[in-house]
Amino acid sequence: MTHRILIDPVTRIEGHAKISILLDEAGNVWDAEFHVVEFRGFEKFCEGRPMSEMPGITPRICGICPVSHLLASAKAGDAILAVAIPPAADKLRRMMNLAQIVQSHALSFFYLSAPDFLLGWDTPPADRNVFGIVRSHPDLARAGIRLRQFGQEVIEILGGRKIHPAWAVPGGVRSALSEEGRDRIRSGLPEAFRTSRIALDLFKKTLETHHQETEIFGNFPSLFMALVADDGTWEHHGGNLRFVDSSGSIIADRIEPHRYQEFIGESVQNNSYLKSPYYLPIGLPGGMYRVGPLARLNVCEHMGVPQAEAELRAFKKLGRGAVTSSFLYHYARLIEILAGLEYIERGLDDPDLLSDDLRADAGINSLRGVGASEAPRGTLFHDYTVNRDGILQKVNLIIATGQNNLAMNRTVAQIARFYVRGKEIPEPMLNRIEHGIRCYDPCLSCSTHAIGKMPLHVQLIAADGTVINEVTRG
Amino acid sequence: MAAKTLTIDGRQVSAEEGATILQAAEEAGAKIPTLCHLDGIYDVGACRLCLVEVAGVPKLLPACTTKVAEGMDVRTDSERIRSYRRINFELLLAERNHICAVCVANGHCELQTLAYSLGVDHVRYDYRFPRWEVDTTHSLFGMDHNRCVLCSRCVRVCWHIEGAGTKNVAGRGAQSRIITDLNMPWKHADSCTSCGKCVQACPTGALFHKGSTVGEMERDRSKLEFIVTAREKGQWIAPD
C-alpha cells in the first residue's frame, strides 16, 4: 500500500526532480534513480532565429549561470563568423566568467549546502536553510552573501547588469571596463579574499568530522573531464578537453572542443528528460565521467596562481590519483573561488581591459560553430548549425549538470544503500539523499530546460514494482 | 487657406483647413498616442491607437486621418478611449511574437514605450504564437515578421521618400505581411537601394541592422526628418 507523506516546502535545489529507490526481495536497496521530469525546449524553439541573437536568448535558460550560456553562445558565434576576437574581448570575457564562478560557487556553498553541515543533518528543515545560518552564524552568512554580491557586481560592472547581461556577442564584447569600474572591483577584492579563506578553513574543519560523508556521498571511481590549458594549468574559458581516470592518469588530451561528439555519447533514460552523456570510447557503464569543480581540479596539474596552487596541493592529497568523493566538490568549489579572485586581481592591471577594440566583424563564414566554456557546474557546449544567412537550423546544448547525471544516480544509490533500512524514510535520510545531489550543485533548469521550482519526490519501489513508500516535498 | 475653429478637450483651438485632428491636438498641447504615424510621411490609420471621440459621431475616429472641421468637438482622453486603445494595443501584442527580453530593439522600441504609457501590464487575449520567418538574406538588414505590427511605415518611406517601392503589404487579415518586391527574399529584391530608411522608420525590432544583438537596435530618426524637411528648411546638408 502506498503511503504518502508531504513535507513542505523545499527549496535548496533548482528545477524539478524526483528520486526512485528500488528495493530487492529482502527489502534492501539495490538501485536508485534520479529523474528530472520537466522539459523546456530551447534547442527546438531557437531554430529559425538569427545566430546573432543567441547570446541574448540562451542566458534566459538560467538566472544563476546566465553568464555561462552567454559566453558559450558568443564563442559558438565566433566560430560561425570564423574570427579571432580582439585580445581585449577575450580578457574581458574571462573576467566575467571568473566572476560568475565566484558568485555561483558562493551561492552553492553558503546558501544551499552549508546549512546541512553547519547546522547538522538532523536539524528540522524549517531551520536548515540560509536563514538558519543567518541566525546561528550571522557574520558568516553576511560574508557569504557579500562574496556572492562581489561576483555579481563584477558581472554588472562589465556587462551592465547582474543577471542576463547582453554583453558578449559573436566576435567579441559590447563594452570595455571603465577605470572607475576597475577601481570598484579592486576595492572589493580584500573582503572577498578574506571570506574565501574563512570558508576554506571552515570546510577543512568540517571534513575532520565528516569522514562518513566523504566516504559515502558519491565516492566511487569514474572519469573526469574538463577544459585545461595545454601545459596542464587550470582553465575556465579556453584550452582543450582532457579526460583523466580515477587513478589520475590522462586517457585523452588536447581534444579541441568542437570534436566533442567523437568523445561524448548520450544515452537516453525513458524516465527522465535529462540525457546521460558518457565517454564514448569506453561506452557504458565504464564511461561515466564527472564534470565541474572536482573534475577541473582532478584534470589540471596546477592552478597558475599561488594561493589556490597551495590549496590544490593539499586537495590532491585527499585522493589516490584523482579525488573521487563527490562530497569534496564543495572543497573544490572553494579553491576555485580563491583562484577566481586571484585571477581577477592579476588581470585588473592589464591596460587591454580598457581598450575600445572589442568586436571583430564578419559575415557567416562557417555553417557550424561550437563554443565551449567552463560553467561553474562543468563544461558547457553550445553547438549551432546555421544556413548561409545565419539562421539557426540546429541547436545542441550539452549542459554540465547533464554530464553529471550518471554520477548523480550513482551517488543517490550509494547514500540510499547506507541509510535506507526498510520502508520508512525519515526526513534526515531524505536530506542526506538530497545533499548527494546538492554536491553537484545541479542546475536542472539549465540541463533539461525545465520550468518551475523543484519539489523533491522520493519513491521506494519493491521488487514487484509496487510503490512502498513515497515522500514529496515542495 | 481658411482656418477652422474647433474644440479639443474643452479648449478652443484653430487649425488650418486640411489639417488632421492629430496635428491640431499637437499644436494645442494634447498628447495622443501614435504608432503608425511618422512625421513627414502621409498617414494611413493602421494602428488605431490615436482614436478620439468626436461629438455627434457614435464611433471612435483615428486622429491621424480625420480632418478638422468647423465647430468640431474632440475629446482625446476618456475611459472609453483608453479602453479601446488598450484593446487595440493588446491585439497587436497577441497577434505576433513580441518577446522584449531578447529583442534587438529592447529599450529603444516604440511599441514597448507605448505599452508602458498605456499601462499594458498583461494581455487579456490568447497569444496566437504564429510561425513567421526571419529574412536575413540582405547583406545589411534583417526583417523579422514576428515583431512586425504592420504599421507600414517602412512601405511609406520606401515609396514616398526613397521612391524605390521595394516594400509592400501582401496578404489579408492575420496573414498580412511586409514583402520585398514580388514576395522574394530581400537580397533578390532588385529595386532595393539598400538606403536603410525602412530600418530607421521601423518602430519595433522587425527591421534591424544585421548582426544586432539584444537591445542594440537604436535608431536615429533625425536622418529621416532631415530628408523630409530638407526642401522646406532649405537645408541640404545633414546637421551634425
- The CATH number linked to B70 is 3.10.20.740
DSSP sequence for A65-77: SHHHHHHHHHHHH
Q: Chain A: nearest CA to B139, how far in angstroms?
A: 9
Q: State the pLDDT confidence band at A22, using cuts at 50, 70 and 90.
A: confident
3 state DSSP class of A94: helix
Q: State the pLDDT confidence band at A8, using cuts at 50, 70 and 90.
A: very low
- B210/A52 Cβ within 8 A: yes
Mean pLDDT of A190-194: 98
pLDDT at B64: 97
For residue B30, tell me if it sits in a domain. yes
Q: Which of residues 88-147 of A touch B (CB under 8 A)?
A: none
A300 near A228, Cβ under 8 Å? yes
3 state DSSP class of B213: coil
Q: Is B215 on the interface with A (CB under 8 A)?
A: yes
Residues B206 and B103 in one domain: yes
Q: Chain A: nearest CA to B231, how far in angstroms?
A: 37
Angle in degrees, CA A214, A216, A222, rounded to 5: 90
Lowest mean pLDDT segment, chosen from A461-465, B134-138, B193-197: A461-465
Q: Is A59 on the interface with B (CB under 8 A)?
A: no
Mean residue pLDDT of chain B comes to 94
Mean pLDDT of B1-21: 93
Higher pLDDT, A77 or B224: A77
Residues B72 and B160 in one domain: no
For residue B172, tell me if it sits in a domain. yes
Mean pLDDT of A155-161: 94
For residue B156, tell me if it sits in a domain. yes
Residue-wise over B52-85: b if at least 16 C-beta within 10 A, else e? bbbeeeeebbbbbbbebeeebebbbeeeebeebb
pLDDT at A270: 64
* Per-residue pLDDT tens digits for A160-181: 988 888 899 999 999 999 999 9
d(CA A183, CA A192): 15
pLDDT at A14: 53
d(CA A105, CA A148): 8
Mutation for testing the B interface, residue in A44, A47, A53 having most B CBs under 10 Å:
A53
Give residues with Cβ within 8 angstroms of A114, minimum separation 6.
Answer: A133, A144
Q: Is A389 on the interface with B (CB under 8 A)?
A: yes
Q: How far is CA B144 from the centre of its chain?
A: 16
Mean pLDDT of B190-206: 96
Q: Chain B: nearest CA to A443, how far in angstroms?
A: 22
Residues B177 and B63 in one domain: no
Integer angstrom CA distances of residue B214 from A51, A325, A451, B96: 12, 42, 23, 18
Residue A444 has pLDDT above 80, yes or no: no
Higher pLDDT, A133 or A444: A133
Higher pLDDT, A32 or A418: A418
Residue A238 has pLDDT above 70, yes or no: yes
Q: State the pLDDT confidence band at B216, using cuts at 50, 70 and 90.
A: very high
d(CA A67, CA A423): 43
Mutation for testing the B interface, residue in A51, A52, A60 having most B CBs under 10 Å:
A52
Q: What is the grid cell recorded at A261?
A: 561528439
* Of A215, A123, A117, the residue nearest A417 (C-alpha): A215
* Per-residue pLDDT tens digits for B90-123: 999 999 999 999 999 999 999 999 999 999 999 9
- A166/B214 Cβ within 8 A: yes
- B104/A48 Cβ within 8 A: no
Phi, psi of A127 (to 5 degrees): -100, -15
Residue entry with cell 570575457: A93
Integer angstrom CA distances of residue A252 from A281, A291, A319, A403, B25: 10, 15, 20, 17, 74
Residues B96 and B72 in one domain: no
Q: What sign has the CA pseudo-torsion A318, A323, A326, A329?
A: positive
CB atoms within 10 A of CB A99: 26
pLDDT at A453: 36
d(CA A378, CA A293): 7
For residue B238, tell me if it sits in a domain. no
The residues pairing with A370 across neighbouring beta strands, listed in sequence order, are A383
Angle in degrees, CA A199, A205, A208, rounded to 5: 145
DSSP sequence for A25-49: TTS-EEEEEEEE-----HHHHTTTS
DSSP code for A172? E
pLDDT at A103: 96
Lowest mean pLDDT segment, chosen from A43-47, A356-360, A389-393, B131-135: A43-47
Integer angstrom CA distances of residue A462 from A30, A160, A425, A459, A466: 10, 54, 14, 10, 5
pLDDT at B1: 64
3 state DSSP class of A241: strand
Which CATH number belongs to the domain containing residue B153 in this structure?
3.30.70.20
* Per-residue pLDDT tens digits for A419-441: 877 777 777 887 888 888 889 98
Max distance between CA atoms of chain A, in angstroms, equals 69
pLDDT at A194: 98
3 state DSSP class of A310: helix
Preceding peptide of A281 cis, ω within 30°: no
* Per-residue pLDDT tens digits for B22-71: 999 999 999 999 999 998 899 999 999 999 999 999 999 999 999 999 99
What's the total number of domains in chain B?
Answer: 2
Residue A450 has pLDDT above 60, yes or no: no
* Per-residue pLDDT tens digits for A307-323: 999 999 999 999 999 99
Higher pLDDT, A418 or A379: A379
Mean pLDDT of A104-124: 89
Residues B38 and B123 in one domain: no
Residues B212 and B100 in one domain: yes
Q: State the pLDDT confidence band at A269, using cuts at 50, 70 and 90.
A: low
Give residues with Cβ within 8 angstroms of A279, minimum separation 6.
Answer: A223, A225, A243, A252, A263, A264, A265, A287, A288, A289
Residues B27 and B146 in one domain: no
Integer angstrom CA distances of residue B210 from A47, A111, B213: 17, 42, 9
Residues B60 and B113 in one domain: no
For residue B132, tell me if it sits in a domain. yes
Query: Closest partner residue to B215 among A166, A170, A390, by Cβ?
Result: A166
Long-range contacts, A38-41 (Cβ 8 Å, 24+): A38/A273, A38/A444, A38/A448, A38/A450, A38/A451, A38/A452, A39/A273, A39/A448, A39/A449, A39/A450, A40/A445, A40/A448, A40/A449, A40/A450, A40/A451, A41/A449
Phi, psi of B13 (to 5 degrees): -135, 160
pLDDT at A43: 86
Higher pLDDT, B155 or A27: B155
Residues B23 and B142 in one domain: no
For residue B179, tell me if it sits in a domain. yes
Query: Closest partner residue to B214 among A48, A56, A361, by Cβ?
Result: A56
d(CA A256, CA A233): 16
Q: Chain A: nearest CA to B213, how far in angstroms?
A: 5
pLDDT at A28: 78
Contacts of B210 in chain A (CB under 8 A): 50, 52, 390
Name the burial class of residue B157, with classes exposed (0-12), middle (13-18) and buried (19+) by CB atoms within 10 angstroms of its CB. buried
A438 near A29, Cβ under 8 Å? no
Residue A190 has pLDDT above 90, yes or no: yes
Task: Give the residue on B whose Cα is nearest the Cα of A49.
Answer: B134
* Per-residue pLDDT tens digits for A58-80: 998 888 889 999 999 999 999 99
Q: Is B134 on the interface with A (CB under 8 A)?
A: yes
Mean residue pLDDT of chain A comes to 88
Residue B171 has pLDDT above 90, yes or no: yes
3 state DSSP class of B153: helix
Angle, helices A179-209 vs A138-159, to 10°: value is 140
Residue-wise over A426-436: b if at least 16 C-beta within 10 A, else e? ebbbbbbbbbb
For residue B122, tell me if it sits in a domain. yes
The residues pairing with B167 across neighbouring beta strands, listed in sequence order, are B180
Residues B106 and B195 in one domain: yes
Instruction: Select the highest-mean-pLDDT range: A39-43, A90-94, B212-216.
Output: A90-94
Residue A9 has pLDDT above 80, yes or no: no
Residues B155 and B116 in one domain: yes
The residues pairing with A277 across neighbouring beta strands, listed in sequence order, are A266
Mean pLDDT of A393-399: 91
Residues B119 and B212 in one domain: yes
Domain final position from B38, B58, B77? B77
Q: Chain B: nearest CA to A442, how far in angstroms?
A: 25
Angle in degrees, CA B228, B229, B234, rounded to 5: 135
pLDDT at A10: 29
Domains present along chain A, CATH in parentheses: 42-351+367-403 (1.10.645.10)
Name the burial class of residue A198, with classes exposed (0-12), middle (13-18) and buried (19+) by CB atoms within 10 angstroms of its CB. middle
For residue B224, tell me if it sits in a domain. no
Q: State the pLDDT confidence band at A15, using cuts at 50, 70 and 90.
A: low
Contacts of B134 in chain A (CB under 8 A): 48-50, 391
| Residue-range definition of the domain harbouring residue B103 | 87-217
d(CA A66, CA A51): 17
* Of A450, A18, A435, A444, the residue nearest A210 (C-alpha): A435
Phi, psi of A298 (to 5 degrees): -75, -35
Mean pLDDT of B140-155: 97
Q: In what order do the strands lie in the sheet with B141-144?
A: B134-135, B141-144, B207-209
Mean pLDDT of A282-310: 96
pLDDT at A16: 61
Higher pLDDT, A74 or A32: A74
Q: State the pLDDT confidence band at A36, using cuts at 50, 70 and 90.
A: low
Phi, psi of A244 (to 5 degrees): -120, 155
DSSP code for B18? T
